[in-house]
């Protein structure tokens, strides 16, 4: 998920009452909810696709990062609060508990979308995909943000049940995620039935993915032979797979595509891509031809943000 969503999860957890467990509880939850994304620094080295959602999102990081964050918070407190006796106590065990909750929430949320996460790193490079929630989901922003903000206002007023709105926000977010995951699972059954009717049941792998802003709609990508086919699921009057005939040729065996595999950026993309394909296109305003490597998760033909492009003769 995007970092605003991760931050709102940390804020809602804090306002639900967890911040009262120890001093620096809110800061620990906010930082921990975003901490696995420290791998974004790999963008500076040009190795983002190879490193993102791997080491800092895997099982080993889930053990190391909470302890690291706890140590940093204790160290900060000893330096910043030195000599002060008017502060609430700092409880390292509670800090570790809060750091663990926050850090674990991050890869779980990242697993929900089509980008995926390598949960078993560094022991396995396998990607896991929930295909349940779009990577930027305003509905999660709404319920988490409203709950956290409402609780913060009530807490400032000294209300006895200030934690209730944030708790409700977290519960609504959990129900929403469960419903989205359920829709994706039902969608997969609809696709399987539709492909069986089209005699395509055993010809490839399928992605049934959410789309931006519309929680009901699902976008379908089917890998069949040397093509990717695209469709949608229509829920009314009865659930049905609709495939209008849109497709992309993969060209994975094209000699020019094989040559591009020697490109370091192309190798990174291929290690990350779920539905890779190659396409030859013209460079705008010139007669030069370009070879583009892309991922059909994010492109039904047009160049996506992840594309690797090189000029060919």
Query: Which residues partner with 147 through β-bridges?
Result: none
Neighbours of 244 (CB within 10 A): 9
Token pair 């663990």 is found at 100
Cα 258 → chain centroid: 30
Between 36-40, 113-117, 202-206, 207-211, the lowest mean confidence (pLDDT) is in: 202-206
Residue 203 has pLDDT above 90, yes or no: no
**What local confidence, expressed as pLDDT, does residue 204 receive?**
66
Cα 131 → chain centroid: 9
Mean pLDDT of 117-131: 95
Of residues 280 and 285, more confidence is placed in 280
1-52 tens-digit pLDDT: 999 999 999 999 999 999 999 999 999 999 999 999 999 988 877 777 778 8
**What local confidence, expressed as pLDDT, does residue 247 receive?**
92
Q: How confident is the prediction for the chain on average, in pLDDT?
A: 91
**Phi-psi domain of 303 (left: phi exceeds 0; alpha: psi -120 through 50; beta: other):** beta
User: Quick check: 274 and 114 in contact, CB under 8 A?
Assistant: yes
CA nearest neighbour of 243 among 229, 263, 257, 228: 229
The HSE-up count of residue 181 (CA atoms within 13 Å, CB side) is: 12
User: Quick check: 306 and 298 in contact, CB under 8 A?
Assistant: yes
**What local confidence, expressed as pLDDT, does residue 111 receive?**
97
Mean pLDDT of 154-178: 97
Query: Which residues does 303 contact at the CB level (< 8 Å), separation at least 6?
Result: 281, 292, 294, 309
Domain boundaries, the chain: 3-130, 251-312
d(CA 105, CA 10): 9
Q: Exposed, middle or buried by CB within 10 Å (0-12, 13-18, 19+), for 58?
A: buried
Residue 105 has pLDDT above 70, yes or no: yes
Give per-residue burial for 299-309: e unless 16+ CB within 10 Å, then b. Answer: beeeeeebbbb
Residue 68 has pLDDT above 70, yes or no: yes
User: Quick check: 294 and 303 in contact, CB under 8 A?
Assistant: yes
């Amino acid at each position: 998920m995007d970092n605003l969503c991760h931050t709102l999860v940390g804020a809602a957890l804090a306002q639900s009452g967890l911040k009262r467990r120890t001093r620096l509880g809110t800061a620990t939850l906010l930082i921990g909810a975003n901490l696995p994304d420290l791998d974004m620094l790999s963008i500076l080295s040009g190795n983002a696709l190879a490193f993102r959602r791997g080491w800092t999102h895997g099982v080993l990081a889930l053990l190391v990062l909470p302890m690291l964050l706890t140590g940093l918070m204790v160290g900060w407190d000893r330096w910043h609060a030195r000599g002060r006796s008017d502060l609430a106590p700092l409880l390292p065990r509670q800090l570790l508990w809060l750091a663990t909750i926050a850090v674990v929430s991050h890869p779980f949320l990242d697993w929900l979308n089509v980008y995926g996460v390598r949960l078993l790193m560094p022991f396995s490079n396998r990607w896991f995909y929930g295909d349940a929630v779009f990577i930027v989901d305003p509905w999660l922003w709404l319920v988490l943000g409203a709950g956290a903000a409402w609780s913060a206002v009530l807490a400032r007023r000294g209300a006895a049940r200030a934690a209730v709105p944030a708790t409700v926000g977290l519960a609504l977010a959990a129900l929403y995620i469960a419903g989205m995951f359920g829709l994706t699972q039902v969608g997969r059954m609809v696709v399987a039935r539709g492909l069986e009717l089209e005699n395509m049941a055993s010809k490839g792998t399928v992605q049934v993915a959410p789309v931006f802003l519309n929680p009901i709609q699902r976008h379908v990508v089917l890998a069949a032979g040397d093509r990717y086919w695209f469709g949608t699921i229509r829920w009314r009057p009865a659930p049905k797979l609709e495939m209008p005939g849109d497709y992309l040729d993969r060209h994975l065996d094209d000699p020019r595509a094989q040559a591009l595999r020697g490109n370091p950026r192309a190798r990174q993309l291929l290690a990350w891509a779920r539905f890779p394909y190659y396409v030859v296109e013209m460079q705008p305003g010139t007669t030069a031809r370009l070879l583009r490597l892309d991922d059909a998760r994010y492109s039904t033909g047009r160049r996506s943000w992840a594309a690797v492009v090189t000029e060919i003769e």
